[in-house]
């Protein structure tokens, strides 16, 4: 979306054309709150049904929204709960959480060729470990759920909060990696000796010369190796289903109806990661819709007038302290100390604000929508907190 003669680029305009918003960014920047707030803001439009698919909401927020029992199934945030926080929506706001384990089980049951194989996989002791730990497992499941919910056609807009990844790019590669993992040459090679003998229980044959088996056998013992191979053999039976799905998910992410919102704070490390992510998104031709700068200090810390006033306050020799003390029946020394702290605090936070500003000015090639959410002292503990964020996100700049 470009700035053009027809008005500014705003989040509102951006979202009116989208069906999916993917929120990403490094951990701890407030992704979950931003995702929920985007959804809430979008649900202000009449008749619109919006779903936020979240990974790890703060307990207090989930409870405040009446979502404590929230699992893989979607739930509507009730109008009463919203009204209690003074929030009125003309559309509907729905939420669902991502339960990785539950979603994986469903996936296995769907893709396995028959029930026996499905349960053989589900009961394997390696299965739980693989799903819990495979680097891209959470990402893949998130994408998979997104695909399903979108395909259901129940929602006009889905906002998805992505799991914390070590590297934001991992997330984009999840579907493809998943397909490769189960279809790759490595897997065929690994399971080869067990297939030779014909199915389960086959013994290792003719592979003693392969260095991998030699070493792996010495390290892990052949029983354990065999267990691993068996598991993979079963898992491989789901290969076609996985590849199909992975390709469909990939296409959905590339679709013009899907946009990405990158979330960051104005701190060096998260911002560096956010910028890198923006570059990767563009390189891979995803639609980069918005950059959300969260927890930014107010502009007033940067105003020259305020800075000068703070310096003057800090340097005051006591005239003002005396009149304030007299007017309020206070001790002059105390008033002077308090004024000194006020001035000092302004300078400290001013330094942080300057740093934030510098980082912001250095942003290279930001997307056309850059939304800023101020640093809020209070936690986002209910719908009114989300509405507060939404007000800033959807503000015209």
Partner 1 sequence: MGPTPSWLDQRLLVFTGKGGTGKSTIAAATALFAANHGKRVLLVDVDAKQSVASLFEHAAVDFSATRVHAGIDALAMDTEQSLREYLKLNLRIPVVGRIGPLAKMFDFVATAAPGVKEILTLGKIAWEVREAIAGRAAHDIVIVDAVASGHVLAHLNAARTIRDLVDVGPLRTQTDWMIDILEDPALTSINIVTTPEEMPVAETIELIQRVRSASRAPLGSVVVNRVLPELFTRDDEVVFETLRNPSSQRLVVDEFGSAIIDVFEGARLAVDLRRSRAEHLDHLRASIDMPTIFVPYQFGSLHGLRMTTVIAQAISDEVL
Ligand X SMILES: Nc1ncnc2c1ncn2[C@@H]1O[C@H](COP(=O)(O)OP(=O)(O)OP(=O)(O)O)[C@@H](O)[C@H]1O
**Subset of residues 246 to 275 that bind ligand X, contact rule: CB under 6 A:** 267-269
Provide, rounded to whole angstroms, the least separation between the CB of residue 334 and partner 1. 6
Instruction: Using CB under 8 A, pick the residue from 109, 151, 203, 212 that binds partner 1.
Output: 212
Contacts of 215 (CB under 8 A, 6+ apart): none
Give the binding range for partner 1 (CB under 8 A) out of 6-14, 110-118, 217-225, 246-254. Answer: 217-225
Of 83 and 186, nearer to partner 1 (C-beta) is: 186
| SS3 call for 159 | strand
> Interface with partner 1 includes 219 (CB under 8 A)?
yes
> Interface with partner 1 includes 194 (CB under 8 A)?
no
Provide, rounded to whole angstroms, the least separation between the CB of residue 296 and ligand X. 16
Concatenated DSSP letters of 286-311: --EEEEEEEEEPPGGGG-HHHHHHHH
In the list partner 1, ligand X, none, the entry touching 55 (Cβ below 5 to 8 angstroms by class) is none
- Whole-number Å distance between alpha carbons of 98 and 301: 39
> Interface with partner 1 includes 133 (CB under 8 A)?
yes
- Whole-number Å distance between alpha carbons of 231 and 24: 33
Provide, rounded to whole angstroms, the least separation between the CB of residue 20 and partner 1. 25
Site string for ligand X, 150-189 (x = CB under 6 A): ----------------------------------------
- Whole-number Å distance between alpha carbons of 217 and 163: 36
> Interface with partner 1 includes 318 (CB under 8 A)?
no
In the list ligand X, partner 1, none, the entry touching 134 (Cβ below 5 to 8 angstroms by class) is partner 1
Of 30 and 289, nearer to partner 1 (C-beta) is: 30
- Whole-number Å distance between alpha carbons of 142 and 28: 19
> Interface with partner 1 includes 9 (CB under 8 A)?
no
Provide, rounded to whole angstroms, the least separation between the CB of residue 364 and partner 1. 19
> Interface with partner 1 includes 225 (CB under 8 A)?
yes
Q: Contact at 8 Å (CB) between 53 and 161?
A: yes
> Interface with ligand X includes 99 (CB under 6 A)?
no
> Interface with partner 1 includes 396 (CB under 8 A)?
no
- Whole-number Å distance between alpha carbons of 132 and 383: 32
Of 34 and 271, nearer to ligand X (C-beta) is: 271
Q: Contact at 8 Å (CB) between 32 and 55?
A: yes
Residues 171-190 that bind partner 1 (CB under 8 A): 181, 186-187, 189-190
Instruction: Using CB under 8 A, pick the residue from 146, 343, 369, 389 that binds partner 1.
Output: 343
Give helix then strand counts, H and E, for the chain. 18, 8
- Whole-number Å distance between alpha carbons of 174 and 141: 9
Of 206 and 223, nearer to partner 1 (C-beta) is: 223
| Dihedral pair phi/psi, residue 9, rounded to 5° | -80, 120
Provide, rounded to whole angstroms, the least separation between the CB of residue 267 and ligand X. 6
Q: Contact at 8 Å (CB) between 295 and 373?
A: yes
- Whole-number Å distance between alpha carbons of 299 and 296: 9
Q: Contact at 8 Å (CB) between 206 and 193?
A: yes
| SS3 call for 177 | helix
| SS3 call for 84 | helix
Residues 268-307 that bind ligand X (CB under 6 A): 268-269
Provide, rounded to whole angstroms, the least separation between the CB of residue 385 and ligand X. 24
| Dihedral pair phi/psi, residue 29, rounded to 5° | -95, -5
Which residue ranges make up the site for ligand X (CB under 6 A)?
267-269
């Amino acid at each position: 979306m470009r700035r053009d003669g027809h008005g500014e680029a705003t989040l509102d305009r951006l979202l009116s054309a989208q069906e999916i918003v993917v929120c990403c960014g490094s951990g701890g920047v407030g992704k979950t709150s931003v995702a929920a707030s985007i959804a809430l803001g979008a649900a202000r439009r009449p008749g619109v049904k919006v779903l936020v698919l979240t990974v790890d909401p703060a307990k207090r927020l989930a409870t405040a929204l009446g979502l404590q029992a929230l699992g893989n199934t979607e739930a509507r945030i009730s109008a009463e709960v919203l009204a209690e926080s003074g929030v009125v929506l003309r559309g509907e706001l729905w939420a669902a959480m991502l339960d990785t384990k539950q979603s994986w089980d469903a996936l296995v049951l769907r893709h396995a060729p028959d029930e026996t194989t499905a349960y053989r996989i589900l009961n394997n002791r390696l299965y739980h470990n693989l799903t819990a730990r495979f680097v891209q497992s959470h990402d893949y499941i998130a994408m998979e759920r997104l695909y399903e919910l979108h395909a259901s056609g129940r929602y006009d807009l889905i906002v998805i909060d992505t799991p914390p990844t070590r590297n934001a790019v991992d997330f984009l590669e999840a579907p493809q990696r998943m397909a490769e993992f189960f279809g790759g040459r490595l897997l065929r090679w690994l399971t080869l000796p067990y297939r030779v003998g014909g199915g389960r229980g086959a013994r290792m044959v003719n592979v003693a010369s392969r260095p991998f088996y030699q070493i792996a056998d010495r390290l892990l013992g052949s029983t354990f190796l065999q267990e691993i191979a068996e598991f993979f053999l079963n898992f491989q039976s789901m290969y076609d289903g996985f590849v199909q799905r992975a390709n469909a998910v990939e296409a959905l992410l590339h679709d013009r109806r899907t946009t990405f919102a990158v979330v960051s704070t104005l701190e060096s490390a998260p911002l560096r990661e956010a910028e890198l992510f923006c570059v990767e998104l563009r390189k891979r031709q995803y639609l980069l819709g918005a950059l959300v700068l969260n927890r930014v200090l107010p502009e007033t810390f940067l105003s020259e007038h305020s800075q000068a006033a703070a310096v003057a306050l800090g340097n005051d020799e006591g005239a003002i302290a005396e009149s304030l003390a007299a007017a309020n029946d206070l001790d002059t020394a105390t008033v002077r100390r308090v004024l000194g702290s006020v001035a000092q605090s302004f300078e400290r936070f001013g330094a942080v604000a300057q740093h934030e500003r510098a980082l912001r000015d250095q942003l290279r090639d930001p997307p056309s929508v850059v939304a800023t959410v101020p640093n809020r002292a209070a936690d986002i503990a209910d719908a009114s907190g989300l509405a507060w964020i939404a007000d800033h996100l959807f503000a015209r700049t």
